[in-house]
Amino acid sequence: VGDESMKKMEKKYHTYSSDETKELGRIFAAHLQGGEVVCMYGDLGAGKTTFISGVMDYFLPGRRVLSPTFIIVRHYKVHTPQVKEIVHADLYRMNDVKEISSLGLTDFYSTRGTVVFIEWAERFGSVLPKSRTGITFTVSDKDEREIVIHVYE
């Protein structure tokens, strides 16, 4: 309820292939200012990693993005005037808030030039920053995804 009242904007998209989701990721990336925390929600296979691979393709063209499921957090140095680093975390295998806190993700929250992407952000519970971007992925059909981007302030 609290989140609703602080919602600044919401945009809804439909993609019909993984390439379209990647393209949406590229477009999203082009708007980043640095300092954002992007929380990604949705089931396995909903398209979170695909979207982030589009983001990385914008910053580091040709670089393959691996799902960080086993490594949990990956860091990428990037080179644009505003964004210098991407942190990509996947909390799928994390079980409790303590374990998640030990990752030190919050250290990156207010770092200028760093953008943090968190897959399975629902596992992060209370440790999410108030001002953040949420992206919710829903499987509508085999190749169709509904992607809702919401900004909280």
Count CB-CB contacts under 10 A for residue 87. 22
Q: Considering only residues 40-79, where is the footprint of ligand ADP by CB under 6 A?
A: 42, 44-50, 67
Report what 80 binds from ligand ADP, Mg ion, none; CB cut-off 5-8 Å by kind: none
Closer residue to Mg ion, CB minimum distance, 35 or 92? 92
Residue 84 phi/psi, 5° resolution? -115, -20
3-state SS class at 104: coil
Q: Does 49 sit near Mg ion (CB under 5 A)? A: yes
Q: Out of 8, 9, 17, 33, which residue is the one contacting ligand ADP (CB under 6 A)?
A: 17
Report what 44 binds from ligand ADP, Mg ion, none; CB cut-off 5-8 Å by kind: ligand ADP
CA 66, chain centre distance (Å): 14
DSSP string, 65-96: PPPTTTT-EEEEE--SSS--EEEEEE-TT--S
Closer residue to ligand ADP, CB minimum distance, 21 or 114? 21
Q: Does 15 sit near ligand ADP (CB under 6 A)? A: yes
- Find, among 132, 24, 33, the residue nearest to 83 by Cα: 33
* Euclidean distance between the first and the last CA atom of the chain, given in angstroms as a whole number: 14
Q: Does 67 sit near Mg ion (CB under 5 A)? A: yes
Rounded CA-CA distance 80/82 in Å is: 6
Report what 88 binds from Mg ion, ligand ADP, none; CB cut-off 5-8 Å by kind: none
Closer residue to ligand ADP, CB minimum distance, 8 or 12? 12
In the complex, the residues that contact Mg ion under the rule CB under 5 A are 48-49, 67, 119
Give residues in contact with ligand ADP (CB under 6 A): 15-18, 20-21, 42, 44-50, 67, 119, 137, 143-145
